[in-house]
Amino acid sequence: MIPESSPAEGNRKRFIAFRVFFNARFYYPVLAVLFLDLGLSAADYSLLNFVWALVIVVAEVPSGALADRYGRRPLVIAAALCMVLEMLALLAAPVSGGLTLLLLCLTNRVLSGTAEALASGADESLAYDSLALEARSGEWPQVLADVMRWQALGTVIAMLVGAAVYDPQLLNAALAWLGSGLRVGQSLTLRLPIALNLLSAFVVLWLAFTMHEPQRAAPRAVGDSAAQDIVAAGKWIVHTPLALFAIVGGVLIDSVIRVFLTFGSVYYRLIDLPAASFGLIGAAMAGLGLIVAPLVRELEQRASALRNYAIIAALALLGLFGVALKIPLWGVLFSLPLAAAMAALGFFMSNTLNAQVSSAQRATVLSFKGLVFNLGYGFSSLIFGLALRSLRDGGNADQAFADALAVLPLWLAFTLALLALLFWRSRAALSWRAGRR
């Protein structure tokens, strides 16, 4: 049991644990390779990711409005149930199963997208409003820092274990060292990260059921219907330069980095890294959260929102231009600034938006952010998929992927230049920092 001295304290601890188990997934270090080894093509994989993002686009904002109107806890529980079902669908997917394989993987992506949409905004709003009811909202930056640290640790473990159990040679060597005559093949080991994640999903479900609804959650809605709540939240974002900049600037950086990370294991193969190292790489990237957490906490207090986003953009461009060089072995180092940028971006986004928005619109606004982020990711995935198809043109798929990597930094540089022009007149509003709250 999670000890608690008050409902807010219990929700704070459960929120941290929920984020850790929901996001630290054992199949992440071999994500692209897993789907390809199941028998899907790279084009199928790109299409499934586009569907995943599309589901979130459809469900994201309505789920936030429902959370604001009827309560956050039911949405969090529904997200946990979807996570359990998505793992079961992927676990049942047959290797080289043709249409059955594609349909089960599609089911997995639809349920995964639904889970992301339902949890987005609702879990964060539940925790933040619980603290606010006890006049403890000033603790939120520390909660975010705790999430980063524990999530980094959880992801390190998931990456190391997930990659290890996926490698039959490593498992067989371990079994032989233990004196066991049992041997396993790839057909079994590709299921192991999924099975481990199913266990995590049951933990997430338990955490969701043990959360407490903040007392003022139900009457928070601002309109006569959920649709009016959505319109009101959208208008607030558009007329609040800081919130609009945070969301638009965030999605431009996030979407491009996520496209690369989605194909991370393919990139590692391209630069001649062995599959057994993928977990170590993922663990190192996740472990950056332990280092980044105190740094971004300090930056949030001392630097303006504009400066913080400029730092994140610089890290992202450095990493993307570096991976586009495709340097054998050492090219993996350019993944580190990308991981640091992603970790810092999540912190700044949450702290900025929660500090600006009212409780009545919190989940809806956060869901708008999630919608825009996943719409951006889906669009960027589609652009990257089209680039892959165009560059391949009947040729080698690995070479097409290598060539397509150059698209990512150029696309980010172009969109960031447009962002700077768009918000030039609003730069004074972007001078906000947490220390002046």
Q: Could you list the mean pLDDT of each consecutive 10-residue stretch along the chain, which spans 437 residues?
A: 68 92 85 83 81 82 80 91 94 86 92 88 85 81 84 84 82 80 75 92 94 65 65 85 88 91 83 78 77 80 81 93 90 90 86 79 80 81 80 70 86 90 78 59
In eight-state DSSP terms, residue 217 is S
Assess contact for 77 and 207: CB atoms under 8 A: no
- Going from the C-alpha of 363 to that of each of 119, 158, 354, the distances in angstroms are 10, 29, 10
Count of Cβ atoms closer than 10 Å to residue 3 Cβ: 7
Question: What gap in Å lies between CA 19 and CA 151, rounded to an integer?
Answer: 7
Residue 181 host element (H or E) = none
Structure tokens belonging to residue 328: 């054998």
Q: Based on C-alpha coordinates, what's the Rg of the chain? A: 21
Question: What gap in Å lies between CA 242 and CA 223, rounded to an integer?
Answer: 24
The pLDDT score that the predictor gives to residue 393 is 65
The pLDDT score that the predictor gives to residue 109 is 92
393 within a domain of the structure (yes/no): yes
427 within a domain of the structure (yes/no): yes
Judged by DSSP in three states, 211 sits in coil
2 within a domain of the structure (yes/no): no
The domain tally of the chain equals: 1
278 within a domain of the structure (yes/no): yes
The pLDDT score that the predictor gives to residue 395 is 62
The pLDDT score that the predictor gives to residue 81 is 96
1 within a domain of the structure (yes/no): no
**Which residue range forms the structural domain that includes residue 57?**
7-214+225-436
Tell the residue number behind the tokens 């709250």, with chain if given.
437
The pLDDT score that the predictor gives to residue 368 is 81
Nearest to 342 by CA among 218, 222, 259: 259
220 within a domain of the structure (yes/no): no
219 within a domain of the structure (yes/no): no
CATH no. for residue 96? 1.20.1250.20
Nearest to 59 by CA among 424, 405, 386, 367: 367
